[in-house]
């Protein structure tokens, strides 16, 4: 299983039956493939519907996910405009938002929308999602492609949100942010020293820190 | 009143320097025919308000690629590399607005509201230059309304009164923009007589629609 699948599988275990979940572009869209049996979620797509599902029939040009990829809907889906979509998001009606990150820090700050002077994709819905969702989970590979740390003491890139991130899941570890960064789980084969080597931010190790159970990998 | 017009007639409404809103999310629910007319009209120095700048070769992305826009207000430009290039080269002013805030600012513009208070953007670059206030111990930004000279929107079906029904994820910003411009033009796949759309299913009431154009002609 590759890093992205390990991360998606672990995030899937954070979701409760019936949760309304918004999944960011890329890695988070893998999460529904790994839901444990008995867990059904309702996926919100910020371009205007609830009940996103896999593409089962021919693609419909009017039905895409928030990344613009053709998708399907499940029975019980609902379409709406962008004001309703973000009323659901900001109004606390979305239980979980799962997003990627360029940087995330021990204060729960997230940076994922611009690298000044280089790449400025824009924030899209990410600022509203991190402000309004009840549980903000960052799902990302632990380091950048060149091996630099992404989990920092303080983000250096422009922020998406201030102090809203609660959980970070990588292919090495799971952290909670609770008055600082707390290591809660290690992937099998990964040591605390390995994590420290790849993490710029200081963190405490939860007294209950466990190896992620094998059935979750 | 006859609201129907041909695509060819649309061309005459565009002027240099106008502010234009355009519906669509990555091109889905975007009025492709109306954008083509705006392209061929040649109007420039436009301010464009749209969720995103789509792709360089489709939708409103072509307006950017052809340097017809001097100011873009959008939430996301990552799918159109030309937008980012022009922004970094300072050929195009881009004002990035969180998507939910953009939706509410347009809604306010059409609903006669002076703005909204939102937590979105607090503690980020988005708060720069904005009025901030604290209510019920929560910090908010004051986000002001957006309006345009013209709104170009897309629906699946209209009746001759302009009542609109949308299609799936093509709805997005269209119903909001339909109230937020001095001239509102809708492009539809299908035009039907009044009475043929169940009033219970109408999403946008026809009184806000000024002109109706059928995709591919009429």
What distance lies between CA A185 and its chain's CA centroid?
17
Task: Transcribe A64-127 into DSSP letters.
Answer: B-TTS-B-EEEEEEEE--HHHHHHHHHTT---EEEE--SEEETTS-EE-S-BTTTB----TTHH
Question: Nearest CA of chain B to the CA of A84: how many Å?
Answer: 9
Is residue B49 one of the residues assigned to a domain?
yes
Residue A61 structural domain: 3-216
Question: Residue A152 CB: number of other CB atoms within 10 A?
Answer: 20
pLDDT at A59 over 90: yes
State pLDDT tens for residues A105-117.
999 999 999 999 8
Q: What is the largest CA-CA distance in chain A?
A: 51
Share of chain A above pLDDT 90, in %: 94
Total of domains in chain A: 1
Q: Give the pairing type, strands B132-135 and A181-186.
A: unpaired
For residue B47, what are the CA distances in angstroms to A166, B125, B148, B191, B198? 39, 22, 9, 30, 36
Per-residue pLDDT of chain B (218 residues; tens, 9 = 90+): 799 999 889 999 999 999 999 999 999 999 999 999 999 999 999 999 999 999 998 889 999 999 999 999 999 999 999 999 999 999 999 999 999 999 999 999 999 999 999 999 999 999 999 999 999 999 999 999 999 999 999 999 999 999 999 999 999 999 999 999 999 999 999 999 999 999 999 999 999 999 999 997 54
Which residues of chain B are within 8 Å of residue A113 when distances are taken between CB atoms?
Answer: 96
A46: annotated active-site residue: yes
Search chain A and give the residue with CA nearest B106. Answer: A83
Round the average pLDDT of chain A to a whole number and report it. 96
Cβ distance A122 to B96 less than 8 Å, yes or no, reads yes
Q: Is B126 inside any structural domain?
A: no
Q: Which residues pair with B165 in a beta bridge?
A: B157
ipTM: 0.96
Report whether pLDDT(A121) > 90: yes
Cβ atoms of B31 and B62 closer than 8 Å: no
Q: Does residue B29 lie within any of the structural domains?
A: yes
- Distance, in Å, from the CA atom of A33 to the CA atom of A1, rounded to the nearest integer, reads 13
Q: How many domains does chain B have?
A: 1
Chain B residue with Cα closest to A63: B169
In angstroms, the CA A24 to CA A97 distance is: 8
Cα B126 to chain centroid distance, Å, stands at: 21
CB-based burial, B116-135: b 16+ in 10 Å, e otherwise: bbbbbbbbbebbeeeeeeee
Given a cut of 80, is residue A5 above it in pLDDT? yes
pLDDT in tens, A146-162: 999 999 999 999 999 99
Parent domain of B37: 7-113+146-214
Which A-chain residues 106-165 have CB contacts (< 8 A) with chain B? Answer: 109, 113, 117-128, 131-132, 158-163
B residues 144-163 closer than 8 Å to A (CB): 156
> A61–B28: do the CB atoms touch at under 8 Å?
yes
- pLDDT per position as a tens digit, A38-55: 999 999 999 999 999 999
Provide the CATH number for the domain around residue B93. Answer: 3.40.1080.10
Long-range pairs for B199-204: beta carbons < 8 A, 24 or more residues apart: B199/B163, B201/B165, B202/B163, B202/B164, B202/B165, B203/A81, B203/B155, B203/B164, B203/B165, B203/B166, B203/B171, B203/B175, B204/B155, B204/B162, B204/B163, B204/B164, B204/B166, B204/B174, B204/B175, B204/B178
Using the Cβ of A81 and the Cβ atoms of chain B, whether some distance falls under 8 Å is answered with yes
Encoded tokens for A171: 């292919």
- Residue B87: per-residue pLDDT: 95
Distance CA B110, CA B98 (A): 19
User: So what's the pLDDT on residue A211?
Assistant: 87
Asked if residue B155 is part of any domain, the answer here is yes
CATH number for the domain harbouring residue A134:
3.40.1080.10
pLDDT in the model for residue B218: 44
Cβ B120–A159 below 8 Å, yes or no? no
Q: Is residue B80 part of a domain?
A: yes
Count of CB pairs separated by less than 8 Å, A with B = 143
Phi first, then psi: give them for residue B175, nearest 5 degrees: -65, -25
């Amino acid at each position: 299983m590759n890093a992205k699948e390990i991360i998606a599988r672990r995030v899937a275990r954070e979701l409760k039956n019936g949760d309304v979940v918004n999944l960011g572009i890329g890695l988070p869209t893998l999460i529904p493939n790994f839901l444990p049996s008995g867990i059904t979620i309702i996926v919100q797509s910020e371009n205007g519907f609830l009940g996103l599902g896999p593409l089962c029939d021919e693609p419909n040009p009017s039905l895409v996910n928030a990344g613009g990829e053709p998708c399907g809907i499940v029975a019980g889906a609902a379409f709406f405009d962008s004001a309703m979509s973000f009323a659901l998001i900001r109004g606390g009606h979305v239980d979980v938002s799962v997003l990627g990150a360029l940087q995330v820090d021990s204060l729960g700050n997230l940076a994922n929308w611009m690298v000044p002077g280089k790449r400025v994709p824009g924030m899209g819905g990410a600022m509203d999602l991190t402000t309004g969702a009840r549980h903000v989970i960052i799902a990302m590979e632990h380091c950048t492609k060149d091996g630099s740390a992404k989990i920092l003491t303080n983000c250096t890139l422009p922020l998406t949100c201030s102090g809203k991130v609660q959980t970070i899941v990588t292919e090495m570890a799971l952290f909670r942010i609770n008055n600082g960064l707390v290591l809660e789980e290690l992937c099998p084969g990964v040591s605390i020293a390995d994590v420290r080597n790849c993490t710029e931010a200081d963190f405490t190790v939860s007294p209950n820190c466990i190896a992620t159970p094998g059935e979750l990998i | 009143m006859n609201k129907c017009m041909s695509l060819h007639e649309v061309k005459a409404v565009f002027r240099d320097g106008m502010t234009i809103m355009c519906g669509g999310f990555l091109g889905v629910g975007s009025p492709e025919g109306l954008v083509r007319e705006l392209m061929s009209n040649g109007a420039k120095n436009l301010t464009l308000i749209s969720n995103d700048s789509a792709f360089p070769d489709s939708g409103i992305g072509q307006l950017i690629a052809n340097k017809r826009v001097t100011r873009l207000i959008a939430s996301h430009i990552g799918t159109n590399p030309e937008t980012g290039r022009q922004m970094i080269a300072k050929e195009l002013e881009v004002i990035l607005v969180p998507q939910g805030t953009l939706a509410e600012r347009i809604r306010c513009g059409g609903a006669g509201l002076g703005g909204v208070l939102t937590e979105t953007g607090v503690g980020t670059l988005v708060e720069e230059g904005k009025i901030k206030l604290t209510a019920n111990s929560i910090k908010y930004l004051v986000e002001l309304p957006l309006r345009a000279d013209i709104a170009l929107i897309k629906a699946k079906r209209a009746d001759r009164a302009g009542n609109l029904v949308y299609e799936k994820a093509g709805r997005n910003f269209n119903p909001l923009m339909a109230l937020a411009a001095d001239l509102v033009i809708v492009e539809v796949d299908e035009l039907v007589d009044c009475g043929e759309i169940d009033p219970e299913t109408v999403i946008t009431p026809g009184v806000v629609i000024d002109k109706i154009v059928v995709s591919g002609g009429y």
